[in-house]
Structure 1
Amino acid sequence: MRIDIDEPNAVEQFWEGMREVAAAATRHQDDDLYQAIVKIGRSALAQGVELVPSSGFFLQCPVCSARSGQRCINVPAHPLSEDALHPARVELAEKAISGEIPLPAPIR
């Protein structure tokens, strides 16, 4: 199987696969699996793969408490409009995956 890394959707497909694994880690309460995908994500970033906004799916939302792999829900004073994730969750993910802040516990 040949993978074309120059395919226009390659980055999004990579993160989509990572989100699917994060959802499975949450579903099965598997901290080791979750830590493994975080390592893969950090390695991808180190090699130049861009972080997409939907990478917030890896963490629990600090606004509505949606779990890893779940979409956010509307809460008072924090509407979603067209977004699947609250901006605070996206920002938290960018900082955590890049190593700027400690990674919050994903599964509890």
Structure 2
Amino acid sequence: MSLDPGASARRTLERARDTVQRIHQAAIRHRDPSLHELADQISQIALTLGHDAGAVQDWRPCPVCGAQPGSNCIRQPGHEMVNGMHPERTRL
């Protein structure tokens, strides 16, 4: 038994983040945007419950420039970038 009462909750949250990331990866593999939408819905529910959804830009393509997960955003005329990414990529 762990002496840290939050350890179990952190493991569960990490498992949930991993699951959402696997859904996003399946969306990319199968080219199915509806899977991205479902994973986003799960992340939004987690946020409403007070849980951090994690770094969503790591597992989704950019809606502005089309950069794939793991790739940096590409500058586009008329679109600002924040910390090297289009803000639209990081929003749920």
Q: TM-score, normalised by structure 2?
A: 0.59
Report what 1:82 is aligned to.
Answer: none
- Size of the aligned set, in residue pairs, is 80
- Highest Rg: 1 or 2? 2
- Per-residue CA deviations over 1:21-66 (Å, capped at 9, x if unaligned) read 101111111122221111111111111111323x21232258x954
- Relative CO higher for 1 or 2, CA cutoff 8 Å, sep ≥ 6? 1
In structure 2, which of residues 14, 22, 25 is the aligned counterpart of residue 23 of structure 1?
25
Superposition CA RMSD, Å: 3.3
Q: Which residue of 2 aligns with 1:12?
A: 14
- Take 1:35 and 1:18, find their aligned partners in 2: how far apart are those partners? 11
SS at match of 2:9: coil
Q: Secondary structure at the match of 1:9?
A: helix
The runs of 5 or more residues in structure 2 that have no matched partner are 1-5, 75-82
CA shift for structure 1 position 90: 8.8
* 8 A Cα contact 1:66 1:72, kept in partner: yes
**Residue pair 1:19, 1:58 contacting (<8 A) in 2 also:** yes
TM-score under structure 1 length normalisation:
0.52
